[in-house]
Copies of this chain bind each other. A is one copy, B any other.
């Protein structure tokens, strides 16, 4: 599976995220018409990403957001109760999306090696498709309440567990070498994160997502595969 196939198969867009946010937060969003709400939420999220990419969330003022979206301050406050809550809403949504997708790709395979490949690639491809969401989640996690930050840690541990479980199962099946699978899972996550944290580097070096994902897998397999399996 390469990135283009992933994109077609997954077939979700920023617009879908905005719709989900609207449906899940009707309690706090004062706008009632779905169509209006979704269009404007989309505009708001895009503006947040564009502004915070260089300044960070704290440095983004509501006036910045008003200017970038073309909406007035008063209008913005009809879409979320306050600046902090907007951050919380966005973080929660991003977490739900990652959780759902990885579970889906993990369950689609049986063989441990195929499962590992599917999950590692899915995470990288997903982070490419929703790059602003991933970057934002990582960089702004600190600004959440401690409960919100715990949720971020929890999803980090969850995705780590998905990987280490695959490694453990693979060891039992004599496909992977024994070792500290938790630490290996952490290393895999570190490499995956690199893709959306330092995107400027890969743009500059002209490395594509597919090349990047392939290299991560090469390293992981080079290290994890049991000697007898190295020519599978």
A184–B139 CA distance with the chains assembled, in angstroms: 24
Whether A194 lies near B201 (C-beta < 8 A) is: no
A223 in the interface (beta carbon within 8 A) = yes
Whether B156 lies near A198 (C-beta < 8 A) is: yes
The one of B58, B183, B211 in contact with A212, judged by C-beta atoms closer than 8 angstroms, is B183
Among listed A5-13, A14-22, A90-98, A185-193, interface-contacting one:
A185-193
Residues of B within 8 Å of A183, CB to CB, are 207, 211-212, 215
Interface residues contributed by chain A, number (CB under 8 Å): 38
List residues of A (128-173) whose CB comes within 8 Å of B's CBs: 139, 142-143, 153, 156-157
A54 in the interface (beta carbon within 8 A) = yes
A55 in the interface (beta carbon within 8 A) = yes
A218 in the interface (beta carbon within 8 A) = yes
Chain A residues within 8 Å of B, Cβ to Cβ? 53-56, 58-59, 139, 142-143, 153, 156-157, 179-180, 182-184, 186-187, 189-191, 193-194, 198, 200-202, 205, 207, 211-212, 215-216, 218-219, 222-223
Q: List 26 A-B contacts (CB under 8 A).
A: A54-B142, A55-B58, A55-B142, A56-B56, A56-B142, A153-B200, A153-B201, A156-B198, A156-B201, A182-B205, A183-B207, A183-B211, A183-B212, A184-B215, A186-B194, A186-B201, A187-B216, A187-B219, A189-B194, A190-B191, A190-B194, A193-B194, A219-B219, A219-B223, A222-B223, A223-B223
Given contacts A56-B56, A189-B194, 11 further A-B contacts (CB under 8 A): A53-B142, A56-B58, A56-B142, A180-B215, A183-B215, A184-B215, A186-B198, A190-B190, A190-B193, A222-B222, A223-B223
